[in-house]
A and B are shown apart, each in its own frame.
Chain A
Amino acid sequence: MHAFAEWLQTTPVSVTIQSVTWVIPLLQSIHILMIGVVFISILMIALRVLGRVRADETFSAVWRRFAPWMWCGLVVMAVTGLTLIVGEPIREFTALSFWLKMGLIVAAVTCTIVFARTVKPADGAADPEFSLATKSAVVAALVVWTAIIFLGRAIAYDAAVWGSLSPSA
């Protein structure tokens, strides 16, 4: 993996991303703006399941309002994230925080797809009675997305955060 990272870092695309000074800060800024879009969309859907916001609207209406923003935000995050990886592959691949973050993203996105297929009612359908399991699942989703945000920032401090567990230590 390290050899792949070293090769990737010498490719023309990677060299361009590294050498143009505003590219990485701009990509990271877009990435953070999208965290705002995605996290708030998930927060609104989760709070609706818990009955804390938009109780006057059906769940399907709330899902229709926020799910497209969540999915589009995730796509933009994937594009900016992949470009950042191409720009700084060694920094990413040698960070434990990066691999934990990727693992949690795969788990969270998979669970969201399962949630969308099983819990989301048909448009205009009456609200389902959310079970304790569903309510626990949305709280867990918020915890996992918060952890993903923490791990994203921890990549820059991997050795300080994880000590000898960090491959870069």
Chain B
Amino acid sequence: MNIVATIAQTLETSAVGEWMRTSLKAMPVIEAIHVLTAAVVFGTILIVDLRLLGVPSTRRAVTRIHEELVRFTWAAFGVSVVTGLLMFAPNATTYFRNTAFALKMLSLLAAGVNMAIFEGRTFRSVTAWDRDVPAPPAARVAGALSILIWAAVIFFARWIGFTKGYDFAVPDDVDLNFAFPPQ
């Protein structure tokens, strides 16, 4: 935990952290890119998850849908990580202790574990259920869980904005001073 705290401290005092804190236009642009890439990650994963659940049908091969979309998902996820770090950096030590942020990170971890189990075990037998037959229960459960977990990631992410990094609600018109000691 100390290592993470040290990383948070380093990020916050870095030139990038300082730039994100002081630049007027950086935060809205970075946040908008984060929303756009989150939409692409969620949207592409949703298409695959729905196909596992047989929605709208099982006619199109799972492997084909997966192969076609996975590059978009990973490219958008990569940009999400970079923009996420840029948003985290200016107040890293505060976000680090924030419940909504912790729940978002746990949800991301859960999404990763769900994906690893699916890709590592269930997906290996895909030739047997690639098209025209329902996916096995394990694949359908993975698809349903994935939709729920990614929705949770987005909900907790939005919730962070309402805490402004602190563990309590801060009204929009209150401008908290993040600097320590207070200036």
Contact = CB atoms under 8 A, between A and B. Distances in A.
Contacts of A21: 162, 169
B178 interface: no
Contact of A43 (B29, B43, B161): B43
**Which bracket fits the contact residues of B?**
20 to 34
A65 B56 contact: yes
Contacts, number: 80
Given A36-B40, A40-B46, A149 B151 contact: no
Contact of A40 (B24, B31, B35, B43): B43
A149 B36 contact: yes
A160 B175 CA distance: 14
A32 B68 contact: no
Given A25-B158, A29-B158, A91-B172, A149 B28 contact: no
Contacts of B155: 25-26, 29
A161 B42 CA distance: 27
Contacts of B162: 21, 24-25
A150 interface: yes
Residue from A26, A36, A39, A53 having most chain B Cβ neighbours under 10 A: A36
B167 to A, nearest CB: 13
What is the size category of the interface that chain A forms with chain B? 20 to 34
Interface string A145-169: 0100110111011001100000000
A25 B68 contact: no
Given A25-B162, A36-B43, A39-B43, A149 B32 contact: yes
A28 interface: yes
Interface of A: 21, 24-26, 28-29, 32-33, 35-37, 39-41, 43-44, 53-54, 57, 65, 91, 146, 149-150, 152-154, 156-157, 160-161
Contact of B28 (A35, A36, A157): A157
Contact of B42 (A24, A33, A91): A33
B42 A36 contact: yes
A153 B68 CA distance: 29
Contact of B151 (A33, A35, A153, A160): A33
Nearest to A160: B24
Contacts of B115: none
A32 B160 CA distance: 14
Nearest to A146: B36
